[in-house]
């Protein structure tokens, strides 16, 4: 029934798997037949505090019982409190604009950069440089900012100008010209293959850009909110960007995006906006998510989960050296490079049959993004099922 309805009425932009999930408890999902699955995807890095989290559910319920939305024409208390927490946990002197998604957050970041170039350099600076294998969103502008030519379909042309991408951080220096206003990168490329960049190279770039008054935008849509073990990957890399973008794990499943910037007075009333962005419902959920994760981090439980998950992943990597070429990633954004794309597709299919959900990423990478609160028992069971799936591949 679900498959029929979906195929008849939903606009098809995804190659779906027609399982019908009905319930979730932390990192375990149950379908309509009560078959359970260990979730190593967390909704592509979204369900940071697990499925069916009762504290988040209660916060949403309490808020929904009063006000869900009133618009940004009025001050919103949970929004202001969330902005305060982001400033505190990021350890930066910032203000935050709230949107509904990562793509919208990146659009906001690009608008800040463009306005910076317009006001400070009389419009002479407007270009944004990104990196090959990057992913910044699905809107027309963020698709163009994405450093993967396969996303630049002629079906959606013409694209806005002023965007280019380079193959490596070292190549950025020579690409900068008098019209460059910003560099936009991910510290760990998620969709591009779970590829972290070297800390020293990033720090040198950040220092260079600061000297040239070129903005550094760090896309933390996937790495933010403790995914790498720290609140921001930028904290882990010990840099202070001009702009950071967040989404995914911030709302624990409720759609929310955020543009966080040290340029606190760059926007004036009317420069940017969002009808739904930062409303009562999503910011109430996000406040509870951050409360949970701050305590989880401070207790040492997050670091324990990261270490344990990595140890089990390493066992799989070493056992199946015939399938995997490299182990990559930081914190709980992990990947295994697979020998070829056909094998990767087969792994994902067989893993699903064994009851463990895993993801694909660019460069033939098996990507793992479990809920940050995943338990040791769920880690053990998930890797047992993945082992069972891999054992069936020649």
DSSP state of 248: G
Q: Which two tokens stand for residue 256?
A: 């929310």
Q: According to DSSP H, which parts of the chain are helical?
A: 2-9, 42-45, 54-64, 77-90, 102-121, 140-145, 169-175, 199-212, 233-237, 280-298, 301-319, 341-354, 376-390
Residues 6+ apart with CB under 8 A from 390: 316, 319, 320, 323, 347, 350
**Domain extent listing, the chain:** 76-297
Find the largest Cα–Cα distance for the chain. 62
How would you write the pLDDT of the chain (394 residues) with one tens digit per residue? 899 999 999 999 998 899 999 999 999 999 999 999 999 999 999 999 999 999 999 999 999 999 999 999 999 999 999 999 999 999 999 999 999 999 999 999 999 999 999 999 999 999 999 999 999 999 999 999 999 999 999 999 999 999 999 999 999 999 999 999 999 999 999 999 999 999 999 999 999 999 999 999 999 999 999 999 999 999 999 999 999 999 999 999 999 999 999 999 999 999 999 999 999 999 999 999 999 999 999 999 999 999 999 999 999 999 999 999 999 999 999 999 999 999 999 999 999 999 999 999 998 999 999 999 999 999 999 999 999 999 999 7
Let me know: does 251 contact 257? Beta carbons within 8 Å.
Answer: no
Q: Which two tokens stand for residue 326?
A: 């490299």
Q: Which two tokens stand for residue 282?
A: 């999503």
Look at strands 127-131 and 163-166 and give their pairing: parallel
DSSP letter for each residue of 309-334: HHHHHHHHHHHTTTTEEEEEEETTEE
> Which CATH fold topology does 76-297 show?
3.40.640
Could you tell me the pTM of the whole model?
Answer: 0.97
């Amino acid at each position: 029934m679900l498959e029929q309805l979906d195929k008849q009425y939903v606009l098809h932009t995804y190659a779906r798997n027609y399982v019908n999930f009905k319930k979730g408890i932390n990192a375990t999902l149950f379908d309509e037949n009560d078959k359970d699955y260990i979730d190593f995807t967390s909704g592509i890095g979204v369900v940071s505090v697990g499925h069916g989290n009762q504290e988040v559910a209660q916060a949403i319920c309490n808020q929904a019982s009063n006000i869900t939305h009133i618009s940004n024409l009025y001050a919103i208390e949970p929004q202001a409190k969330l902005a305060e927490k982001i400033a505190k946990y990021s350890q930066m002197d910032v203000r935050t604009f709230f949107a509904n998604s990562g793509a919208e957050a990146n659009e906001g970041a690009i608008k800040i950069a463009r306005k910076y170039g317009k006001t400070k350099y009389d419009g002479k600076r407007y270009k944004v440089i990104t990196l090959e294998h990057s992913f910044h969103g699905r809107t027309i502008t963020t698709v163009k900012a994405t450093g993967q030519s396969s996303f630049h379909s002629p079906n959606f042309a013409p694209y806005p100008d002023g965007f280019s991408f380079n193959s490596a951080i070292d190549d950025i220096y020579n690409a900068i010209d008098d019209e460059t206003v910003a560099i936009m990168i991910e510290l760990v490329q998620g969709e591009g293959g779970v590829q972290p960049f070297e800390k020293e190279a990033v720090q040198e770039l950040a220092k260079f850009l600061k000297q040239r008054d070129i903005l550094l935008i760090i896309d933390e849509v996937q790495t933010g909110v403790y995914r790498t073990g720290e609140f921001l990957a930028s904290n882990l890399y010990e840099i202070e960007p001009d702009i950071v973008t967040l989404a995914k794990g911030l709302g624990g499943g409720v759609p929310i995006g955020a543009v966080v910037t040290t340029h606190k007075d760059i926007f004036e009333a009317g420069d940017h906006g969002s009808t739904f962005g930062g409303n009562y419902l999503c910011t109430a959920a996000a406040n509870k998510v951050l409360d949970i994760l701050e305590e989880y981090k401070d207790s040492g439980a997050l670091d324990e989960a990261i270490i344990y998950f990595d140890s089990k992943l390493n066992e799989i990597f070493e056992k199946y050296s015939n399938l995997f070429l490299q182990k990559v990633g930081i914190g709980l954004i992990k990947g295994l490079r697979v020998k070829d794309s056909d094998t990767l597709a087969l792994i994902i299919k067989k893993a699903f049959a064994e009851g463990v959900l895993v993801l694909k990423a660019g460069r033939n990478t098996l990507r793992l993004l479990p809920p940050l609160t995943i338990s040791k028992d769920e880690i053990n069971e998930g890797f047992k099922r993945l082992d069972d799936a891999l054992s069936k591949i020649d």
